[in-house]
Amino acid sequence: MIAKTRKTVAVVVGRWQLVHRGQEALFQAAFAVADEVIAVLGSSYRSRDPRNPFLHEERRQMLLANMTADQQARLHFLPVRDYFDDKRWNAAVAFGVTALAGEQADIVLVGHQKDHTSYYLSNFPRWRQHLVARLADVDATAMRNVFFEAEDADAALTVMAPYVSAPVRAWLQAWSRLPEYLRRQAEHAAVAAYRRKYTAVAYMTGDAVVTAGDQVLLVRRKGPFGEDLWAVPGGHLERGEKLVACAIRELIEETQFPLLPASILAALHEVATFEDPLRSARGRLITMAHHFKFPEMAMLPEVLGSDDVKEARWFHRDELPAMESQCFEDHFVILDHFLGLIEG
């Protein structure tokens, strides 16, 4: 009796935030060594920003645009959110790959050693590795800069021709006709201006996660960063200010929270630092988030959006899991840390 050969499944991990020829080479290598391929779509479910201008469904479409019919039939997609926690991220990728490939599959991780962001290749020691030589002069960040900084998207796509395939350029050309392209251009420019102004290695901010029973206080942002996205109140630390005082000050300024600072401080329940270098597209912003936990109230404190927010509003905790893609930067991760919103 002939033993059945195990299915080989290649895993290719990336954000694919503008698919270029170097990334296409990874997939061609993956299809050459495996029966099936799983594309892990990093930074999924979150809101758009200059580092992540395309939703995971849009990135799926870009990747499929380059595939033959046979390759499309052999390709699976695994969206994975940002946890800013390697242990949770590794577990989510491993669980998702096993669910798609099956317990008995021979898994091979296909990638190239790009820079410090490629450290994930060593996070899965049970999988074989297949390293691919990196194509020189192809970089997704540079391609995004060309695409979003150009006055004429069609001209930008012409310049990108040596680095981005015709099917992807056609997809990007169609996408550039949507209103979202102008919004992405505006925020891209705002972040570039912010980085020119704020040049220190890192800046500190203080955030306030405020709960009253099962109610959670959020603010809807004004532009230019994350306009209309929901966030926890917070902002930059001022000279000579303690971080908890910063969080309380920003809470009062942004929501007109009616309690005295001493009463707010008395409700402090937990503090956590969020300092992943990629948590904000604006640069290295390290925040100390403070959970102010009030008991359930018959009447919630009245709040009003002011300062640099459009609106302040209480949400029931059960509403928050469905709002992940509407949250600013890593604020859903901050909420999850204190409130346990993500299962698993």
pLDDT tier for residue 1 given thresholds of 50, 70 and 90: very low
The whole-chain average pLDDT of the chain stands at 94
How many Cα atoms within 13 Å fall on the side-chain side of residue 164?
28
Residues 179-195 have pLDDT tens digits of 999 999 999 999 999 99
Q: What is the distance, to the nearest Å, from the Cα of residue 67 to the centroid of all Cα atoms in its chain? A: 25
8-183 has CATH 3.40.50.720 classification: no
Domain boundaries, the chain: 8-183, 203-339
If you average pLDDT over residues 270-281, what whole number do you get? Answer: 97
How many Cα atoms within 13 Å fall on the side-chain side of residue 192?
11
CA 202, 56, 225, 164 torsion-angle sign: positive
If you average pLDDT over residues 227-247, what whole number do you get? Answer: 97
Residues 93-142 have pLDDT tens digits of 999 999 999 999 999 999 987 665 566 778 898 999 999 988 767 889 99
d(CA 33, CA 110): 9
The residue whose two tokens read 């490939």 is 101
Residues 295-331 have pLDDT tens digits of 999 999 999 999 889 999 999 999 999 999 999 999 9
Q: Could you tell me whether strands 128-131 and 106-111 are parallel, antiparallel, or unpaired per DSSP bridges? A: parallel
d(CA 11, CA 107): 7
If you average pLDDT over residues 247-270, what whole number do you get? Answer: 98
DSSP result, 241-254: --HHHHHHHHHHHH
Is this model's pTM higher than 0.75 or not?
yes
State yes or no: cis peptide before 224, omega within 30 of 0: yes
What is the phi/psi pair of residue 217, to 5°?
A: -95, 125
Class of domain 203-339: alpha beta
10 Å CB burial of residue 286 (0-12, 13-18, 19+) is middle
Residues 36/7, Cβ–Cβ less than 8 Å = yes
10 Å CB burial of residue 142 (0-12, 13-18, 19+) is middle
- Please check whether the two domains, 8-183 and 203-339, share a CATH topology: no
Residues 49/82, Cβ–Cβ less than 8 Å = no
Query: At CB < 8 A and 24+ separation, what contacts does 238-244 make?
Result: 243/204, 243/206, 243/288, 243/290, 244/206, 244/268, 244/271, 244/288, 244/290
